[in-house]
């Protein structure tokens, strides 16, 4: 795992000193991603500079240093990520007469590009990656991002000068971008708590979309093509269904699941896993321990002061599996201490509050290992979110009612505040999910929705209409739609999450939090072979009888008894609502004064101040809306010297 960066000056007017200094500065801004080594390659005649920071995980020897040049000297590569099947690729190359004797996936990747070209290579590669390769003969620069968007890649240009990097801060360090804030991106952020690709908070900087190859030719022509599409995978998968009722299919699934986990255990440095106590991470750890002759290192956190503590559940699973387990009890002080530094990690506004415990868990894990496996992606691939059960059920029942009656029912549900619903939930003997009141309010919005897309947006939106609070925006309330080619409503929801929420929220959160500490996190449940397999299963084999992720549950039951994992989904929720009325009140008030809100020229202070007053009074729980605004304000203050 590494950090990559580069400059491509098509005008070839930048002096060699400029290229050297700024390429090195770009790479140095990513030191946290690669603390073990650095390198730069400059070709002033071509106007190209490539920079690299290395976290040595596979073949931590000089052989794996970057930038790397192919044996034929035609291609130069900077690469972030891991290719898990690099030994298989080396054998294929050898069978074609191109012998590769290397323990480095970087060397094998570069040899494959030289032999097969970029597109065949990335279609063959299994892993997580973002890389840039320069063809010294054609003078084409090609940028590539992995299929699911596990690894980030940003690019931008002003005129004939292009820059790219693993994080936005590297592009700033080039000195070639004059960034301006994009009000449409801000509006999207206030809706989703993240900025959907390809946008960033800056007009001049874009995210390369997952599964995409972008080529910048020496003549200035750019070409972007998709080599893997989640939408196409979903459509073709549902057109060629399989069933786990078939013993051969069940066996193939179990073997594939074990393989994707075992593949990600390849490491020349200490390795472990995150264990939350949920189905996804427990499945990954179970299969790791099954494949290992030694105790797997596992890590978890508890939040007893926040009203729940999954670390006890994780510890019981760890004891059952026999792992070498470490956990940490997180206090409010631990969490509050890092909030002010969040903009340094994320480079643009990001308001998934679980970024805080993820950061703390990454720090804890890095004290013991360099690589950790996680269960991220299981919800999207195997149907784990509560909305996959709730929204189709709500839609079926709401269709029976006239629109006026639906609105009446929704209003009745919202007559009680979320806090009142939470108090009611505490009187019910059966354990209710965290933030029960918020879920009731979102269900009410879904009942009142006029169509499936509006119902989905109502559940994932912080501000239901961010145009009320952002000046000058033309924000489209649906940057992605529910795919009409998928006739199954659960599949539509899964795909919508897979193409945006997964890469732009979940994977962004994990990448920044882990790489801030030089920790590599691998996600076996997002192996593209497993994703493609899962899309061939009927949705009824993923979710039935109010239970989710049935294929994983069936495998996990062979390793862990149901009594240890069968409980409501909770996640990494933290009590933002209470904090804003308590220890964070003065901090928030400073960021939410009318003067502070008006400082960027993009926010309308009136509705935000009204939301703040309503939240403080206890009339409403508006933590999600306010946290998004606060994260923008915090980011804006931190970057005020570099943006217009």
- Residue 477 is predicted with a pLDDT of 60
Give per-residue pLDDT as tens, 144-167.
999 999 999 999 999 999 999 999
Q: Could you read off the pLDDT of 539-576 as tens digits, one per residue?
A: 999 999 989 999 999 999 999 998 888 766 555 667 88
The percent of residues in the chain predicted with pLDDT above 70, rounded, is 95
Percent of the chain with pLDDT over 90: 73
Lowest mean per-residue pLDDT among 101-105, 330-334, 489-493: 330-334
Q: Say if residue 386's pLDDT is above 80.
A: yes
Angle (nearest 5°) at CA 439 between 404 and 542: 100
- Kindly calculate the radius of gyration of the chain based on its CA atoms and give it in whole angstroms: 24
Using one digit for the tens of pLDDT, what is the confidence trace for 406-451?
778 777 777 777 777 777 777 776 666 666 777 787 777 778 777 7
Mean pLDDT of the chain: 91
* pLDDT level of residue 481 (50, 70, 90 thresholds): low
Helices (H) and strands (E) in the chain, counts: 28, 17
Given this model, what pLDDT does residue 608 score?
97
The burial of 484, by beta-carbon neighbours within 10 Å (0-12 exposed, 13-18 middle, 19 or more buried), is given as exposed
**The pLDDT of residue 400:** 77
**How far apart, in Å, are the Cα atoms of 247 and each of 72, 215, 254?**
49, 45, 11
Specify the pLDDT at position 644.
47
pLDDT at 435: 67
Summarize pLDDT for 178-228 with one digit per residue, the tens.
999 999 999 999 999 999 999 999 999 999 999 999 999 999 999 999 999
In contact, 227 and 212? CB cutoff 8 Å:
yes
In this structure, the strands spanning 127-135 and 324-329 are: unpaired
**pLDDT average, residue stretch 320-337:** 89
The pLDDT of residue 612 is above 80? yes
Residue 563 vs residue 45, higher pLDDT: 45
pLDDT at 252: 98
In the prediction, which pLDDT does 402 show? 82
| pTM given for the model | 0.94
Q: pLDDT tens digits for 296-314?
A: 999 998 877 665 567 888 9
**449 to each of 163, 172, 400, 410, 583, how far by Cα in Å?**
43, 42, 13, 10, 36
């Amino acid at each position: 795992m590494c950090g990559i960066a580069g400059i491509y000056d098509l005008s070839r007017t930048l002096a060699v000193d400029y290229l050297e200094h700024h390429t090195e500065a770009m790479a140095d801004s990513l030191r946290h991603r690669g603390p073990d080594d650095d390198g730069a390659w400059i070709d002033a005649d071509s106007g190209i500079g490539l920079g690299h920071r290395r976290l040595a995980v596979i073949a931590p020897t000089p052989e794996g240093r970057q930038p790397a040049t192919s044996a034929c000297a035609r291609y130069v590569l900077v690469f972030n990520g891991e290719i898990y099947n690099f030994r298989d690729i080396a054998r294929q190359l050898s069978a074609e007469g191109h012998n590769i004797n290397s323990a480095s996936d970087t060397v094998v990747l570069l040899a494959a590009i030289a032999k097969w070209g970029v597109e065949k290579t990335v279609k063959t590669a299994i892993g997580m990656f973002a890389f840039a390769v320069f063809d010294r003969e054609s003078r084409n620069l090609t940028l590539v991002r992995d299929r699911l968007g596990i690894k980030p890649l940003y690019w931008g240009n002003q005129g004939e000068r292009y820059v790219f990097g693993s994080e936005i801060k590297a592009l700033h360090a080039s000195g070639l971008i004059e960034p301006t804030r994009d009000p449409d991106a801000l509006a999207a952020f206030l809706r989703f708590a993240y900025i959907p690709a390809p946008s960033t908070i800056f007009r001049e900087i874009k995210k390369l979309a997952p599964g995409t190859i972008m080529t910048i030719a020496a003549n200035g022509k750019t070409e972007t093509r998709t080599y893997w599409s989640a939408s196409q995978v979903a459509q073709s998968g549902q057109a060629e269904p399989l069933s786990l009722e078939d013993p051969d299919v069940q066996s193939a699934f179990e073997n594939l699941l074990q393989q994707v986990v075992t593949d990600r255990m390849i490491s020349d440095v200490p390795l472990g896993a995150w264990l939350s106590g949920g189905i996804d991470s427990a499945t990954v750890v179970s299969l790791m321990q099954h494949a290992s002759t030694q105790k797997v290192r596992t890590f978890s956190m508890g939040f007893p002061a926040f009203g729940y503590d999954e670390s006890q559940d994780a510890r019981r699973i760890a004891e059952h599996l026999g792992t070498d387990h470490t956990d940490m009890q997180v206090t409010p002080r631990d969490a509050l201490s890092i909030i002010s530094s969040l903009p340094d990690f994320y480079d643009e506004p990001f308001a998934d509050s679980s970024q805080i415990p993820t950061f703390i868990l990454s720090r804890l894990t890095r004290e013991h290992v360099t690589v950790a496996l996680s269960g991220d992606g299981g919800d999207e691939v195997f149907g784990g979110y509560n909305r996959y059960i709730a929204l189709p059920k709500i839609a079926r029942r709401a269709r029976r009612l006239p629109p006026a009656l639906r609105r009446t029912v929704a209003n009745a549900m919202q007559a009680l505040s979320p806090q009142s619903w939470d108090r009611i939930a505490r009187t019910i003997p059966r354990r209710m999910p965290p933030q029960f009141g918020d879920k009731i309010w979102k269900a009410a919005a879904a009942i009142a929705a006029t169509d499936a897309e509006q119902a989905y947006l109502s559940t994932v939106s912080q501000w239901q209409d961010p145009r009320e609070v952002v000046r000058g925006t033309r924000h489209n309330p649906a940057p992605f739609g529910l795919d009409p080619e998928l006739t199954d409503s659960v599949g539509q929801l899964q795909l919508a999450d897979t193409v945006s929420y997964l890469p732009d929220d979940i994977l962004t959160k994990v990448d920044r939090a882990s790489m801030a500490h030089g920790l590599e996190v691998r996600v076996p449940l997002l192996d593209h072979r497993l994703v493609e397999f899962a899309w061939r299963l009927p949705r009824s084999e993923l979710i039935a009888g109010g239970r989710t992720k049935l294929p994983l549950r069936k495998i996990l039951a062979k390793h862990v008894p149901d009594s240890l994992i069968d409980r409501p989904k909770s996640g990494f929720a933290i009590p933002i609502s209470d904090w804003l009325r308590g220890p964070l009140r003065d901090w928030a008030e400073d960021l939410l004064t009318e003067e502070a809100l008006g400082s960027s020229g993009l926010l309308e202070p009136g509705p935000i101040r009204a939301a703040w007053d309503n939240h403080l009074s206890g009339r409403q729980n508006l933590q999600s809306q306010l946290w998004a605004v606060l994260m923008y304000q915090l980011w804006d203050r931190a970057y005020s010297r570099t943006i217009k």
